Structure 1
Amino acid sequence: MSAHPLARATASLHGLALGDAFGSQFFVPANRHALSSRSLPPGPWQWTDDTEMACSVYRVLAEHGTVDQDELAASFAARHDFDRGYGPSTNRMLRLVREGAGWRALAAGLFDGKGSWGNGAAMRVAPLGAWFAGDLAEVVRQAGLSAQVTHTHPEAVAGAVAVAVATAVAATEPGLPAGPFLDRISRHVPASLVRDGIEEARRLLTVSDPVLAARALGNGRQVTAHDTVPFTLWVAARHRHDYEAALWTTAAAGGDIDTTCAIVGGIVAAAEGVHLPPRWTSRCEPLPDWAGAPALHH
């Protein structure tokens, strides 16, 4: 593992943003035929809240080297663009944080005090896994801290941990076969529906049809962590060395396509030797200047 943490996190962030922007195109009716023909939708491709929040995670890590929860909450709130596709509860929470409310009470109070078990913590966390790759215990700890700023439900935290660990393992052990890859992740995920789903994904590795896999694992349609993360790890396990194949496979399952593609893109791009296709990146909206992420060089 030779890459600097910042370089790995930068690669993951670019892969996440490209996956997010690519996936978001299939909510445009005119582009849906592209899935069956695997023809690239016309540009420009705009990314969504997945990327906007991932940029805050990246920036806080670049500035502090750790997840400072107060800084992360402040960045989420300050950079919040209502038009990027945030869910209603997150829109409300970030508006209130901007107005001076405390993020801890707001996050814990969501959904009648149970906290959100949505996929929002998982969709933004891949660059963090890339940053701390090589120390999986620290990946787990930091992923939990990053999730709790908006998602306190144990399932959402488990989803974030799973994606962060997957990214770290992809970055540090590129030769690991698909089954052991999922086994390595499962060992670090707390008992949860998310972990149950990852274990089911392990059993489904012999399935090649993403629609069939998603029928068992979910495709994000319910916008919950346990309906989203297991399928994305099934794709990443099978296609870690081919960014284009990973993203087309993910998109073919439908559901919350921008988020599933963001997760898969962030995991796969963290591995050394994986390059983002220039025909894709040329269509993608650039990352915001405030993120401070260097541009990709092909």
Structure 2
Amino acid sequence: MVMIDICRDSLDGLSVGDALGAQFFVPGTHPDTLPAGEWPWTDDTEMACSVVAAARAGQPLDQDRLAALFGEHFEPYRGYGGGAVVLLRQIREGGDWRVLAPAAFGGQGSMGNGAAMRVAPLGAFHAGDSATAAREALRSAEITHAHPEAILGAVAVAVAAAEAGWARTLRDRPEPADLLDAIGDYLVGSQVRTGVERARRLLGVTVAEAAYELGNGAQVLAQDTVPFALWTAVTYLHDFSAAIFACVEAGGDVDTTGAIVGGIVASYTGRDGIPGEWLARREPLPSYALSAA
């Protein structure tokens, strides 16, 4: 097994979690019934495809090239937030992300969950080297999210995927608490780190309790999304279906929690751990997704 295989599996998991999660924003959809028809993916997957393409092109990650890919493949109807629409349109028109990202939200930069939602395959690409996964996640995040909380959210998810992918190669499922500890080693003092520490203390509670205490992404912030997603991923690391249905049960930003959790869990289970019917119903990934940028 090579790391690009784990990366590809993570992208499949991310896109399936995203696409299925997004179905539960459709009126009339019920958690006990698998949605019919094809499941379109959202901005989570669209941006993750660009991240994977850029990662395959070489290390360290070329931030200018990734910014260009974000602008090139940006389709507003995929569910981007208003701030992202403005930023990506400006990047597409030649704007400098180094100026644009820090200027967002009154000069504090975005602390949204967008950098975290797309990064799991990048972490999986560096399975066995969590330090590099953390550095590359930071580089991928700051193109659009200059706020430390958003950047640390991306770091946490990337390290989780790197650790999960490495555990797969060792055929040794880590204890949930140990995996959260490994993630915490790469986080400085922040709301994201506090949330991860709280997630560790909540291991063993119900999904509803975890979502109540940690958030479910309803605020679309890294600190409101990543701790619950990590709690879910480490709890259900061996069971892709259970992990995604936990996101559905929690409600909130289901496509994003599904994308984060799916990307981490599939790094461990592999593509074979994703139900075949779910893969078949997910909208096909674009051709550039697994080609070097």
1:13-37 deviation digits (Å, cap 9, x = unpaired) = 0110000000000000121x2x1x2
Residue of structure 2 in register with 1:8 after alignment: 6
Q: How does 1:195-214 map to 2 (within 5 A)?
A: 195-207=193-205, 209-214=206-211
Which sits farther off after the overlay, 126-135 or 64-73? 64-73
1:211-259 deviation digits (Å, cap 9, x = unpaired) = 2111100000000000000000110111001100100011100000000
- 8 Å contact from structure 1 (residues 132, 168) kept in 2: yes
Of 276, 279, 283, 1:278 maps to: 276
Q: Name the CA distance, whole Å, in 2 between partners of 1:62 and 1:53.
A: 15
Matched, 1:82 2:80: no
Q: TM-score by structure 1 length?
A: 0.94
1:42-61 deviation digits (Å, cap 9, x = unpaired) = 12100000000000000001
- 8 Å contact from structure 2 (residues 10, 265) kept in 1: yes
Which sits farther off after the overlay, 185-194 or 48-57? 185-194
Residue of structure 2 in register with 1:119 after alignment: 113
Matched, 1:222 2:219: yes
Q: TM-score by structure 2 length?
A: 0.95
Residue of structure 1 in register with 2:246 after alignment: 249
Matched, 1:149 2:143: yes
Q: Name the CA distance, whole Å, in 1 between partners of 2:62 and 2:238.
A: 32
Matched, 1:43 2:40: no
Residue of structure 2 in register with 1:131 after alignment: 125
- 8 Å contact from structure 2 (residues 239, 269) kept in 1: no
Divergent runs of 4+, >2 A: none
1:102-160 deviation digits (Å, cap 9, x = unpaired) = 11100010011100000000000000100111111111111100000000100001100
Structure 1 stretches lacking a partner, 5+ long: 294-298
Q: Name the CA distance, whole Å, in 1 between partners of 2:71 and 2:145.
A: 15
Structure 2 stretches lacking a partner, 5+ long: none
- Aligned alpha-carbon RMSD (Å): 1.3
Q: In the TM superposition, what is the alpha-carbon distance from 1:66 to its structure 2 partner?
A: 3.3
Q: In the TM superposition, what is the alpha-carbon distance from 1:272 to its structure 2 partner?
A: 4.7
1:139-186 deviation digits (Å, cap 9, x = unpaired) = 111110000000010000110000000111111124211111111111
Matched, 1:266 2:260: no
Q: Name the CA distance, whole Å, in 2 between partners of 1:49 and 1:218.
A: 21
Residue of structure 2 in register with 1:296 after alignment: none
Q: Name the CA distance, whole Å, in 1 between partners of 2:173 and 2:279.
A: 26
State the AA in 2 paired with 1:53.
M
- 8 Å contact from structure 2 (residues 238, 269) kept in 1: no
Count residues in correspondence: 287
State the AA in 2 paired with 1:83.
Y
Of 184, 187, 200, 2:182 maps to: 184
Q: In the TM superposition, what is the alpha-carbon distance from 1:206 to its structure 2 partner?
A: 1.9
Q: Name the CA distance, whole Å, in 2 between partners of 1:66 and 1:280.
A: 34
- 8 Å contact from structure 2 (residues 44, 259) kept in 1: yes
Q: Name the CA distance, whole Å, in 2 between partners of 1:138 and 1:282.
A: 33
